A and B are shown apart, each in its own frame.
Chain A
Amino acid sequence: MVDRSTTRRALLARGATVLGALALAGCENVTDNPLVKEVLGGVGGLNRKVQEAMLGPEQLAQEYELSDVSTDFYANGSTDPDDKHYRSMAANGFKAYKLVVDGLVERPIELTMAELRAMPARTQITRHDCVEGWSCIGQWTGAPLQAVLDRVGVKPTAQYVVFHCFDTMDDGDPSGPTPFYGSIDLLAARHPQTILAYDKAGKPLEVKYGAPLRLRVERQLGYKMTKYIKRIQLMSDFKDIGQGKGGYWEDTGYQWYAGI
């Protein structure tokens, strides 16, 4: 007679062995498996779809009081760009700075800091959430990106706003330091709290916070908020820039959508 419970026991034991072996083998290179890669790469897109369905285009991130502002607002990533042109402009108070806005636009323009400051401004006290887990509160003033986009006229084929920056990241690449860039979609770009910030706490940005111009995208994580903006390019696709993932950090493995 077949011993039912013993065979079950044997089956359980065999199952556990197989699972254990899979787990051990998997630890090595499971993330190289194409299916696993696809699932891990796709989850950011799912997060984006669900959050965009929940979020109205105008729903604001919480704004705080002046008394909440962090006295030790952390600066990470690049904090002092090496670029010679950037350094000479910084030494002269960015008088020679010109923001280039081009790509899929009707009227490409160049804007000086004085021209940007002459545009209607928005001041907001918001929470900066880093992908690492920390948060700081800061007061930012800048020109709404929406106003800049309206000024240049976005062509209907444009999907993304790409930010090219002065800073580079030295990640040991033999071909030299990697230029920093980032991108957001038009939904984020047209959000009322999305500004090209030039002041922090009422004073021109310090170099470590991205002088003369940095992005604020308040419903997403800090790694989307490029500093040291040189050029804004409207594009239908970002696959030909960098490694094609839409940003320096995205190229290193972060999700493109950073609402979570």
Chain B
Amino acid sequence: MSLAEKELDDPVVSNDDAVPKGKEQRLVTLVKRHSVVVRVTHWITVLCLTMLLMSGLQIFNARPQLDFGIKTDFDHPPAVIDSDKVDGKARGYVRIGDHRFDTTGVLGLSEFEGKPTERAFPSWATLPGEQDLGTGRAIHFVFAWLFVANGLVYLLWGFATRHFRRDFLPSRTQWRHIGGEILDHARLRFPKGEQARQYNAIQKMTYFAVAFVLLPLLVLAGWAMSPGLDAAFPFLLHVFGGRQTARSIHFLAAFGVVLFVVVHVALVLLSGLFNNMRSMVTGWYDIGQERDIHG
């Protein structure tokens, strides 16, 4: 039996000191939710993804268009961020296919050092803030290496301790109740008590998809943009159908991660910021009192 499982079987039950005297005492049931490996690799991932996203937008700004296939279409790319003049006024826009969206102030045209400047993603979203492709690439590579090394530690540990099998694959019972769980989620009713001891099925499937599909896809698509790695591993170009498709998938997968993070952070806030932060910093999570969430 692994250490984590043992800890889960021995919850620490204590009275919450934070509840002022005189008010109703709430029973706090702390369980060890996250091992030290999960906690450390989680926060390194947060740092890496932030730096990778911002330096990635810097790199994207050098050629802010998306193409598919083996080569670039300079005349009419499938999607582009650009700027032009409308009635004598500079406007920023995003064009996807034949649909044009005015994004002045954020995309295509934004303030930089007090002046409206033509740039795809605005200064506040890129690293460095000014247009500097060389430094942006260096930052991207440093954190790409850290991300991959950290990810390998996490994956090896997760397989060795059966963390993924235990925590990322829904149990039979969970599959049977998947309908009710989706409804509870939609109503923002989060499990308490015994049901909160483990991830629910939606959590398990989401973390599985992010750790084993989305992030590996992002890394592979990044590698497929490297002429050196393409020569070493020609299958990279074949699986993606060309370097430009890989570049677009890299970009879209990055925004898939952004979408995941937005939902993840929103649910962390809604289901108890302090309890969640405590569990990802110290490992201890309060599963609270049992209640019938299907009632």
Contacts and interface: CB of A to CB of B under 8 A. Distances in A.
Interface of A: 1, 3-6, 8-9, 12, 27, 31, 39-41, 43-44, 46-47, 51, 54-55, 59-62, 64, 68, 70, 72, 74, 127, 129-137, 218-221, 249, 252-255, 259-260
Contacts of B247: 133
B119 to A, nearest CB: 14
A136 B244 CA distance: 10
Contacts of B67: 134
A62 B228 contact: no
Contact of B75 (A3, A72, A136, A252): A72
Contact of B137 (A1, A51, A137, A254): A254
B25 interface: no
A5 B132 CA distance: 44
A129 B71 CA distance: 9
Given A127-B70, A131-B133, 7 more contacts: A3-B17, A5-B16, A44-B138, A51-B228, A54-B228, A74-B72, A253-B133
Most chain A beta-carbon neighbours within 10 Å: one of B60, B229, B234, B274: B229
B243 A129 contact: yes
B224 to A, nearest CB: 11
B226 A134 contact: no
Contacts of B129: 27
Contact of B227 (A54, A68, A132, A221): A221
A31 B135 contact: yes
Interface in B203-235: 225-234
Contacts of A260: 141, 225-229
B196 interface: no
Tell me the dominant secondary structure on chain B's binding face. Answer: helix
Contacts of B225: 129, 133, 260
B118 to A, nearest CB: 15
Interface residues of B, number: 44
B17 A4 contact: yes
Contacts of B231: 55, 59-62, 218-219
B62 interface: yes
Contact of A136 (B72, B138, B230, B237): B72
Interface stretch (B82-90, B99-107, B169-177, B276-284): B276-284
A70 B69 CA distance: 12
Nearest to A218: B227
A22 to B, nearest CB: 12
B232 A55 contact: yes
Given A61-B231, A133-B63, A137-B71, A254 B134 contact: yes
A68 B60 contact: no
B142 interface: yes
Contacts of A61: 227, 230-231
A250 B130 CA distance: 18
B134 A252 contact: yes
B70 A64 contact: yes
13 contacts: A5-B278, A12-B277, A55-B228, A61-B227, A131-B62, A133-B62, A134-B63, A134-B244, A137-B70, A221-B227, A253-B132, A259-B226, A259-B229
A62 B230 contact: yes
B139 interface: yes
Nearest to A11: B281
A135 to B, nearest CB: 5
Given A134-B63, A134-B72, A46 B138 contact: no
B138 A8 contact: no
B237 to A, nearest CB: 6
A44 B233 CA distance: 20
